[in-house]
Amino acid sequence: MYKLARELLFSLSPETSHELSIDLIGAGGRLGLNRLLNKAPASLPVKVMGLEFPNPVGLAAGLDKNGDAIDGFAQLGFGFVEIGTVTPRPQPGNPKPRLFRLPEAEAIINRMGFNNLGVDHLLARVRAAKFDGVLGINIGKNFDTPVERAVDDYLICLEKVYAHASYITVNVSSPNTPGLRSLQFGDSLKQLLEALRVRQDSLAALHGKRVPLAIKIAPDMSDEETALVAQALLESGMDAVIATNTTLGREGVEGLPFGNETGGLSGAPVRDRSTHTVKVLAGELGGRLPIIAVGGITEGRHAAEKIAAGASLVQVYSGFIYKGPALIREAVDAIAALPRV
């Protein structure tokens, strides 16, 4: 069934099909129909960040930027759903076209630029959702906020979403917002993490609960840079790291139509680079901080590879677009088949 749906959707422009898919998944969720589209994955509970996940396969941020289809995605069998990236104020994102399929490589290039309707709209959608499972909210900065004041935007979003999120992801690794990736390094990273942790503590006291913070990083750092980030995360007391965002590299798409478009590359070509980053992080963190792996999971065995590399949870995005809901169950089954340590 999904192959037919994909053929129809792929006949439309990528952004049009994306918007239509969100509308359809959202409508299916409101009607309770999405459970009929996919056989529920096996129960494979895991506890990470102090949260109970029914299975370790989640939806990555970026598909449902505004939280318009939370119930719909949850009904497909995801163990957790992450929405966003959301910014304090609505913004249109970069000029179109800004989303490109590379089906020969099971890849996508995007330069969306955090297009979203703002944090207040997202919160209205969260309040309207019936989903009571693990919900991540991914936060970022507005494109016109100077990078030296980026912490202000993150703190605005953190305060607003705190009471409504199971965990919060801080996106400092999108390649499509100028200057954003500089926040992953040195004093900029340490200052951001310190500000987030201080505000997290005050919000925990205010709301009577501690909502974990995860930092999402890029796959384009050297091993030495990744190690420095890992150390900074440990020193600041962050709760998890998500590895990885899209890559600026073009390995695996050379010569393909749209392969030279600017933006972040996701899907199968980023798989090995992402898994390598997970391995480096795992070696540096030594189990002291959980890793959520995302990047290039287009088959169940790729999810198992991420877990074997040191991740506790995985997320899918581009693989879901190419393979559909069946990928969720396939990934859960592959992880369940891994030898128990």
| Cβ-contact 293, 274 below 8 angstroms | yes
Q: Nearest 5°: phi and psi at 64?
A: -115, 80
CA torsion, points 317, 321, 322, 325, in degrees to nearest 10? 90
| 132: three-class secondary structure by DSSP | coil
Cis (ω within 30 of 0) for the bond into 97?
A: yes
Q: How far apart are CA 75 and CA 34, in angstroms?
A: 6
Residue 91: DSSP 8-state: B
Residue-wise burial string across 134-159, b where 16 or more C-beta atoms lie within 10 A, e elsewhere: bbbbbbbbbbebeeeebbebbbbbbe
CA proximity to 219, closest of 167, 282, 174, 252? 174
- Give the Cα separation of 84 and 162 in Å (integer): 14
Question: Could you give the CA distance from residue 328 to residue 313 in angstroms, rounded to a whole number?
Answer: 13
- Residue 23: CA count within 13 A, CB half-sphere: 7
- Rounded CA-CA distance 74/83 in Å is 11
The residue annotated as part of the active site, out of 174, 266, 274, 312, is 174
Residue 182 known to be catalytic: no
Q: Which residues participate in catalysis according to the annotation?
A: 174
